[in-house]
Amino acid sequence: MHTRWISRLLPAATNTRPTEWSRAAIGVSLGTLLSVWVCSLFFGLPVAMHLIGPLGASAVLLFAVSSGALAQPWSIMGGYLCATLVSLAVAHFFGRNLDSACLAVGLALIVMCLLRCLHPPAGALALLVVLADPDSASLGWGLLAPVMLAAACMLVAALAYNNLTRVRYPKKTPEPNPVAPQVAGDPGITAQDLQQALEQMDAFIDVTPEDLEQLIRASEHYARRRSIGEVLAQAR
């Protein structure tokens, strides 16, 4: 019982090679450097450095797990936009204090969910916008400009670097698979079935129905190959 509980705390095995870790690490470093550097050119280093935490977290998503639903272009741009606007409004009406910051991150989450642009680093951004340093706070509503500039630079870096290193980004929505003939008694799994299953789980899952469908189709393909191989082996 205790062994099973402890095993749940252990990390699951990753399905990536060390070469992919290195590729992503270089991208994270370059993307963060570019975003902070460009932002500092227009708004000063203190403002740019104030945003470095969320930018670093976004870089991990965009370069290391670029196929995830939370790492797509609308997620980072929409997430940063929602978090900044919500936080600036909260700071305007309730002041810059810890309570306001916690309220801002909660409200930003709701808005991001409504607009389908959930991006976890935007939660950190919401806190930073409310609890801004003097240089950033002095910009007022103008703080939206450096935030969106930094986010745009990060996105451009991800688009360029990922595709140059043969990682397709943004995630392409696959073409619908032709309907395969169904075996009697086997209804098969459709995209609609996957969507309904994801909705029934009622939880945040960083995978798109299209990715999940591709994974299931590939698993079915290898299962059929294995089954045919076993049949041929028995026939011998």
pLDDT digits (tens, 9 = 90+) for 114-146: 999 999 999 999 999 999 999 999 999 999 999
Residue 12 lies in a domain: no
| Cβ pair 74, 82 in contact under 8 A | no
Query: Of 198, 228, 225, 199, which Cα lies nearest the Cα of 213?
Result: 198
Task: Mark whether 113 and 230 lie in a shared domain.
Answer: no
In the predicted model, is pLDDT for residue 233 greater than 50?
A: yes
Task: Mark whether 155 and 43 lie in a shared domain.
Answer: yes
Tell me how many domains the chain contains.
Answer: 2
In the predicted model, is pLDDT for residue 40 greater than 80?
A: yes
DSSP annotation of 140 reads G
Angle at 105 between CA 99 and CA 107, to 5 degrees: 100
Task: Mark whether 145 and 204 lie in a shared domain.
Answer: no
Residue 27 lies in a domain: yes
**How much is the mean pLDDT over the chain?**
85
Residue 135: per-residue pLDDT: 94
Q: Residue 187 carries which side chain, given as an amino acid letter?
A: P
Task: Mark whether 98 and 208 lie in a shared domain.
Answer: no
Task: Mark whether 139 and 55 lie in a shared domain.
Answer: yes
Could you tell me the residue range of the domain that residue 63 belongs to?
21-164
Residue 174: per-residue pLDDT: 53
Residue 36 lies in a domain: yes
pLDDT tier for residue 219 given thresholds of 50, 70 and 90 = confident
Query: Of 25, 32, 33, which Cα lies nearest the Cα of 64?
Result: 25
Residue 179: per-residue pLDDT: 44
Which single residue is written with the structure tokens 């916008």? Answer: 129
Task: Mark whether 146 and 72 lie in a shared domain.
Answer: yes
Residue 182 lies in a domain: no
| Cβ pair 158, 27 in contact under 8 A | yes
Residue 66 lies in a domain: yes
Tell me how far apart the alpha carbons of residues 76 and 103 are, in angstroms, rounded to a whole number.
21
Residue 201: per-residue pLDDT: 61
Residue 136: HSE in the Cβ half-sphere, 13 Å Cα cutoff? 28
The sign of the torsion formed by the CA atoms of 222, 228, 234, 236 equals: negative
Task: Mark whether 62 and 152 lie in a shared domain.
Answer: yes
- Residues 186-214, mean pLDDT to the nearest whole number: 64
Task: Mark whether 107 and 149 lie in a shared domain.
Answer: yes
pTM reported for the whole predicted model: 0.77
In the predicted model, is pLDDT for residue 70 greater than 90?
A: yes
- In sequence order, which residues have a C-beta less than 8 Å from that of residue 195 and are 6 or more positions away? 209
Task: Mark whether 36 and 144 lie in a shared domain.
Answer: yes
In the predicted model, is pLDDT for residue 85 greater than 70?
A: yes
Is 128 buried (19+), middle (13-18) or exposed (0-12) by CB count in 10 A? Answer: buried
Task: Mark whether 90 and 37 lie in a shared domain.
Answer: yes
The region of weakest confidence among 34-48, 75-89, 176-190, 222-236 is 176-190
- Residues 28-52, mean pLDDT to the nearest whole number: 97
Residue 176 lies in a domain: no
Residue 97 lies in a domain: yes
Residue 169 lies in a domain: no
Residue 180: per-residue pLDDT: 47
Task: Mark whether 114 and 157 lie in a shared domain.
Answer: yes
Residue 143: per-residue pLDDT: 97
Task: Mark whether 49 and 123 lie in a shared domain.
Answer: yes
